[in-house]
C-alpha cells in the first residue's frame, strides 16, 4: 500500500509518541527501583561507618591501656607519679574516660585516677573478679556489659586490658570506666540526608548512644523494634549482614522511618541507622509529577508539529521530483527555486550546483579524452627514446609496458611479452643466486612512493642472451588505483664491465711489468746503501736514502695496484681461522711506536682488560689493515700529537645476540671535512685542502682496508671533527665455542667459502 508523505509523517510521529510513553514508563519504574536499592545501600554503608567509628574507638582505648601498662612496668616501683601522669594525660585526651585504674592480679587497686583527682592507698578498693577481669588475667582485652549508674542514671562501660611482662606473665590489669553518654557525639557524626541519624543499643536492646542525650537518660528499650529484634535473635557474635530490604517502622517521634542495623563483633552492640521515609522518596514523587506533565505536553507538541511539518514538506519535494526528471532527460540548463529555508532548500541548491557541474564535467570529459589520447602518444615516443629499458607491470606482475631499449636488452619484441609474467620473459641472477620477481618487483599495498629495489651487476638471461645490468624498481602512490604494480628500469652495463675488466687487466699487467725492473733497481740501491754509502759524503748519503725511500714507496704502490686488481676480479683471498689477534695487534702497534717517536708523537695502546676473544680472521691481512690506519694517523698528526689504539667488545648490530671485537685508532691530527667522509673508502680518493699537502698517498690504502674487513664479515668506519682529529674503527665478529666447533667440522683445507663463513658466524 502506497502512503503519502503526510500520512507517513503522522504515522511516524504516532510511533515515536508510543515509544516515548513506553520508554518514560519503563524509565520511571527503573528509577523507582534504583532509588530504593540505592537507599538500601546507603543505609548499609552508614551502618558500617558507625560500626567502624566504634571499632576505631575501642582500638584507641586498647592502645591507651597498653601505653599505661608499659609505663607501669617501667616506673611503678621507682617513680609512680610518672604512671599517674600518663593516666591523667590519657583522661585529658579523651573526654569519655570517667576514671582509669591499675589492678594487681588479685584485683587490688594499685593506682586510680579520674579527671580531677588521684586516689591514694586509703581510697583504693579491690575489684570483684568479674568475667571481663578474669579474661584480662588470661591475657585478653575484655569489655564489660553496659550498666547504668544508680547515682546519675548514665550508661557506663568498663574495659580491662592485661599488663604483660617481658616473660609473658600477666603483671596486672588496666581498667578504664567509660561514660557512654559522652560518646553520643561520635555516633552523631553519621548523617543520612537532612534528618537521618544513627544510634546504638546494647545486647538487651537498651539505648546507650543517641544524638539526643536526653533520650539516653530516659533509658528506653528498643528490643521490640524489628530491625533490632532480628539482630538479637541471631545470637551470633560477629558482623550480621542485613537483609536486601530495610525495615520500616514508626520511631519515638511518631515518624515513619526506613532503617537497617549491624551488630558489632566483640561488644555485641547493635548499630541502627534510620531515615524518614518521606525524605527518601521525595525525589521519586517529584519525578512522578514531572513524568505526567512531560507526557501530556509531548503529546500536544507532537500532534501539532506533525501536521505543520507534513504540510510544509510536500510542495518543495514535488518541485524536486519535477527537476530531477528534467536532469534525467539530459536538460542541464534549468534551475529549481525553493525558499523553504531549511535542508530541502539546501538540497535544491545542491541539485542546481550538481546540474551545472554535470554540464561542466561533460565538456571537460570530452577535452580530457582528447588529452589522454595525445599524452599516450607522447609517452610512447618518450619510452622508445629512453636508452635504459623500462618495464611496467600490473598488480599481478604481468608486463604492461616494454620499451624498445628493453626489447634490445632482452632480445624480445614488446608484442611478444605484453600480458606475460616477468618470470616467463627473463631471469635475473645475483652471482649464482636467482632473484625471483617477488624480490625485485614486489607488490606492496601501502602508500609508499619511491625506490623499492636497487641492485647493481646483476646477470639477466633472456631469449638465450645474457647481459649484465643495473636494476632499479620504483613504486608510485596511485599504483593500486591504476592497476600499476611497479616500474622497472634496466641499465645495460655489459660493455661498461668489459671496459672495466680491460682497465683492471691493464693495471695488473702494468704493475707486473714495473715490478721486474723495480726489483733490479731496489737490489742495486740496496748494494749502494750497504757497501758504497759509507764512503760517500753526507749530501750523497741523503740522496741514497731518498732513493731507498722512493723505491720502497713505488713498490708499495705496485702492491696496492695489484691488490686492487685482485679485489675487483674477486681473486683477493683471505686465509681465515679462529685466532687470537692480541699478539698481532700488539706487534703492529709496537712497530709504529718507533716511527712515531721520530716525529715527536706518542702512541698509546689500550688492550682489553679481559680475556681476548677468538675471531675468524687472517692475521696477516688484519695486520695490513692496522698498519695502513696507523700509517695514516702518523702521517696526518702534527709533532707532539697523540695516537691511541684501543680494543673493546660491543654487541654486533648485524648478527642479533652476538658480540664483536672493535679496534679504534684515534689521532689528534687535523681531522677530515664532513663532506669527504662518504667518499673516504673509495679508490684513488684523496681529501683536498690542508690534508693533501705533504701527503704521498695514492688513495688506495683505505679502499683495500675496507675490502679486507668486509671479506671478514666485519665493518670499518670513521668519526672525525675538523681541527680536533679522527678516529677510525674496524670490527670483527667474535666466535663462540659453537662457532669454533662448527669451523673444525666443516674445514676441508686451508680455505673456506663465504657460505661456510656465514654459517660459522651465525652459530
CATH number for the domain that contains residue 244: 3.30.450.20
What pLDDT, in 10s, does the model give residues 210-247? 888 788 878 889 888 888 888 888 765 444 444 455 78
Q: Where a domain ends, among 572, 592, 611?
A: 572
Mean pLDDT of 288-301: 77
pTM, whole model, 2 decimals?
0.41
pLDDT of residue 587: 92
Where is the domain boundary, 572, 595, 612? 572
Whether residue 492 sits in one domain with residue 394: yes
Are residues 401 and 462 both part of a single domain? yes
Query: What confidence tens digit (pLDDT) does each residue in 588-646 have?
Result: 999 899 889 988 999 999 999 888 999 989 998 899 899 999 999 998 899 999 999 99
Cell, residue 558 = 705496485
Kindly state whether residues 554 and 626 are assigned to the same domain: no
**Least-confidence region, from 72-86, 126-140, 178-192, 253-267:** 178-192
Please indicate, yes or no, whether residues 433 and 558 belong to a single structural domain of this protein.
yes
Cβ pair 337, 348 in contact under 8 A: yes
Residue 141 lies in a domain: no
Q: Is residue 88 part of a domain?
A: no
Could you give the CA distance from residue 160 to residue 144 in angstroms, rounded to a whole number? Answer: 8
Q: Are residues 622 and 724 in the same domain?
A: yes
pLDDT(749) > 60: no
Any domain includes 16: no
Instruction: Tell me what the mean pLDDT of segment 732-760 comes to.
Output: 66
Number of independent structural domains in the chain: 3
Check whether residue 609 and residue 681 sit in a common domain: yes
Q: Which position has the higher pLDDT, 307 or 756?
A: 307
Same domain, 603 and 515: no
SS (H, E, C) 340-373: CCCHHHHHHHHHHHHHHHHHHHHHHHHHHHHHHH
Query: Considering the domain boundaries, does residue 549 fall inside one?
Result: yes
> Is the pLDDT confidence value at 83 over 80?
yes
539: which residues sit within 8 A by CB, 6+ positions away?
none
Q: 580 and 566: one domain?
A: no
Distance CA 47, CA 198 (A): 8
Answer positive or negative: Cα dihedral of 608, 612, 618, 623. Answer: positive
Q: Examine residue 79 and state whether it is found in any structural domain, yes or no.
A: no
- For helices 582-598 and 619-635, what crossing angle results, to 10°? 20
Q: Are 663 and 729 in contact (CB under 8 A)?
A: yes
How confident is residue 694, by pLDDT bands cut at 50, 70 and 90? very low
Could you tell me the CATH number of the domain that includes residue 746? 3.30.565.10
For residue 438, the SS3 value is helix
Distance CA 643, CA 597 (A): 11
Report if residue 666 sits inside a domain. yes
526 and 650: one domain?
no
Q: Which H or E run contains 750?
A: none
Q: In terms of Cα–Cα distance, which of 635, 639, 643 is closest to 697? A: 635
| Lookup: cell for 433 | 643466486
Q: Are both 583 and 568 inside the same structural domain? A: no
User: Residue 272 to residues 45, 46, 184: CA-CA distances in angstroms?
Assistant: 12, 9, 13
- Measured from the Cβ of residue 263, the count of other Cβ atoms closer than 10 Å reads 25
Q: Which of 633, 590, 623, 646 has the alpha carbon at shortest distance from 709?
A: 623
Among the three residues 278, 312, 342, which one is the final residue of a domain in this structure? 278
* Domain with 587 in it: 574-762
Considering the domain boundaries, does residue 10 fall inside one? no
Say if residue 568 is in the same domain as residue 579.
no
Average pLDDT over residues 693-716: 80
Q: Do 535 and 608 reside in the same domain of the chain?
A: no
Range 402-421 average pLDDT: 89
Band the pLDDT of 470: cuts 50, 70, 90.
very high
Amino acid at each position: 500500500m502506497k502512503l503519502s508523505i503526510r500520512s507517513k509523517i503522522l504515522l511516524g510521529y504516532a510511533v515515536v509518541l508510543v515509544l516515548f510513553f513506553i520508554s518514560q514508563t519503563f524509565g520511571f519504574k527503573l528509577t523507582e527501583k534504583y532509588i530504593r536499592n540505592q537507599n538500601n545501600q546507603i543505609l548499609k554503608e552508614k551502618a558500617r561507618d558507625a560500626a567502624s567509628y566504634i571499632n576505631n574507638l575501642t582500638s584507641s582505648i586498647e592502645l591507651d591501656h597498653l601505653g599505661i601498662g608499659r609505663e607501669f612496668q617501667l616506673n611503678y616501683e621507682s617513680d609512680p607519679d610518672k604512671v599517674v601522669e600518663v593516666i591523667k594525660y590519657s583522661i585529658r585526651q579523651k573526654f569519655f574516660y570517667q576514671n582509669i585504674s591499675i589492678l594487681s592480679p588479685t584485683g587490688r587497686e594499685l593506682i586510680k585516677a579520674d579527671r580531677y583527682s588521684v586516689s591514694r592507698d586509703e581510697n583504693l578498693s579491690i575489684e570483684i573478679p568479674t568475667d571481663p577481669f578474669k579474661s584480662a588475667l588470661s591475657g585478653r582485652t575484655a569489655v564489660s556489659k553496659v550498666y547504668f549508674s544508680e547515682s546519675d542514671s548514665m550508661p557506663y562501660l568498663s574495659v580491662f586490658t592485661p599488663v604483660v611482662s617481658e616473660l609473658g606473665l600477666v603483671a596486672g590489669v588496666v581498667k578504664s570506666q567509660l561514660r557512654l553518654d559522652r560518646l553520643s557525639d561520635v555516633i552523631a557524626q553519621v548523617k543520612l540526608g537532612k534528618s537521618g541519624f544513627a544510634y546504638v543499643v546494647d545486647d538487651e536492646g537498651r539505648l546507650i548512644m543517641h544524638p539526643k542525650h536526653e533520650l539516653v537518660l530516659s533509658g528506653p528499650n528498643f528490643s521490640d523494634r524489628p530491625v533490632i529484634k532480628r539482630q538479637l535473635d541471631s545470637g551470633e557474635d560477629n558482623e550480621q549482614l542485613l537483609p536486601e530490604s530495610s525495615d520500616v517502622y514508626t520511631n519515638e517521634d511518631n515518624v515513619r522511618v526506613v532503617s537497617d542495623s549491624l551488630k558489632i563483633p566483640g561488644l555485641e552492640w547493635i548499630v541502627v541507622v534510620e531515615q524518614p521515609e518521606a525524605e527518601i522518596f521525595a525525589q521519586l514523587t517529584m519525578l512522578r509529577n514531572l513524568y505526567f506533565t512531560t507526557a501530556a505536553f509531548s503529546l500536544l507538541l507532537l500532534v501539532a508539529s506533525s501536521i505543520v511539518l507534513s504540510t510544509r514538506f510536500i510542495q518543495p519535494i514535488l518541485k524536486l521530483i519535477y527537476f530531477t526528471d528534467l536532469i534525467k532527460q539530459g536538460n542541464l540548463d534549468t534551475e529549481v527555486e525553493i525558499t523553504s529555508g531549511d535542508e530541502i532548500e539546501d538540497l535544491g541548491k545542491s541539485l542546481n550546483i550538481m546540474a551545472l557541474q554535470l554540464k561542466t564535467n561533460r565538456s571537460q570529459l570530452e577535452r580530457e579524452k582528447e588529452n589522454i589520447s595525445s599524452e599516450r602518444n607522447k609517452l610512447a615516443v618518450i619510452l622508445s627514446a629512453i636508452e635504459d629499458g623500462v618495464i611496467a607491470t600490473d598488480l599481478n606482475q604481468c608486463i604492461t609496458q616494454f620499451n624498445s631499449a628493453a626489447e634490445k636488452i632482452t632480445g624480445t619484441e614488446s608484442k611478444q611479452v605484453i600480458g606475460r609474467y616477468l618470470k616467463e620473459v627473463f631471469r635475473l641472477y645475483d652471482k649464482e643466486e636467482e632473484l625471483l620477481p617477488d624480490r625485485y618487483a614486489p607488490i606492496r599495498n601501502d602508500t609508499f612512493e619511491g625506490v623499492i629495489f636497487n641492485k647493481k651487476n646483476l646477470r639477466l638471461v633472456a631469449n638465450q642472451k645474457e647481459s649484465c645490468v643495473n636494476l632499479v624498481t620504483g613504486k608510485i602512490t596511485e599504483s593500486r588505483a591504476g592497476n600499476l604494480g611497479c616500474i622497472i628500469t634496466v641499465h645495460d652495463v655489459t660493455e661498461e664491465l668489459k671496459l672495466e675488466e680491460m682497465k683492471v687487466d691493464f693495471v695488473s699487467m702494468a704493475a707486473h711489468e714495473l715490478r721486474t725492473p723495480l726489483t733490479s733497481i731496489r737490489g742495486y740501491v740496496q748494494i749502494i746503501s750497504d757497501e758504497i754509502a759509507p764512503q760517500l759524503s753526507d749530501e750523497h748519503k741523503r740522496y741514497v736514502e731518498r732513493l731507498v725511500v722512493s723505491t720502497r714507496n713505488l713498490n708499495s704502490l705496485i702492491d696496492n695496484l695489484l691488490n686492487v686488481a685482485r679485489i675487483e676480479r674477486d681473486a683477493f683471498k683471505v686465509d681465515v681461522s679462529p685466532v687470537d689477534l692480541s699478539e698481532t695487534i700488539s706487534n703492529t702497534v709496537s712497530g709504529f711506536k718507533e716511527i712515531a717517536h721520530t716525529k715527536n708523537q706518542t702512541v698509546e695502546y689500550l688492550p682489553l682488560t679481559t680475556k681476548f676473544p677468538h675471531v675468524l680472521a687472517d692475521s696477516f691481512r688484519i695486520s695490513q689493515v692496522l698498519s695502513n690506519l696507523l700509517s695514516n694517523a702518523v702521517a696526518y698528526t702534527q709533532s707532539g700529537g697523540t695516537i691511541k689504539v684501543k680494543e673493546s667488545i660491543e654487541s654486533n648490530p648485524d648478527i642479533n645476540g652476538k658480540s664483536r671485537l672493535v679496534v679504534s685508532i684515534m689521532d689528534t691530527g687535523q681531522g677530515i671535512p664532513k663532506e669527504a667522509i662518504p667518499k673516504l673508502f673509495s679508490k684513488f680518493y684523496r681529501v683536498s685542502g690542508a690534508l693533501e699537502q705533504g701527503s704521498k698517498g695514492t688513495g688506495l690504502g683505505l679502499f683495500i682496508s675496507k675490502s679486507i674487513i668486509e671479506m671478514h664479515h666485519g665493518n670499518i668506519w670513521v668519526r672525525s671533527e675538523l681541527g680536533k682529529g679522527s678516529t677510525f674503527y674496524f670490527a670483527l665478529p667474535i666466535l663462540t665455542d659453537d662457532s669454533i666447533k662448527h669451523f673444525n667440522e666443516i674445514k676441508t683445507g686451508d680455505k673456506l667459502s663465504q657460505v661456510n663463513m656465514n654459517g660459522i658466524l651465525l652459530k
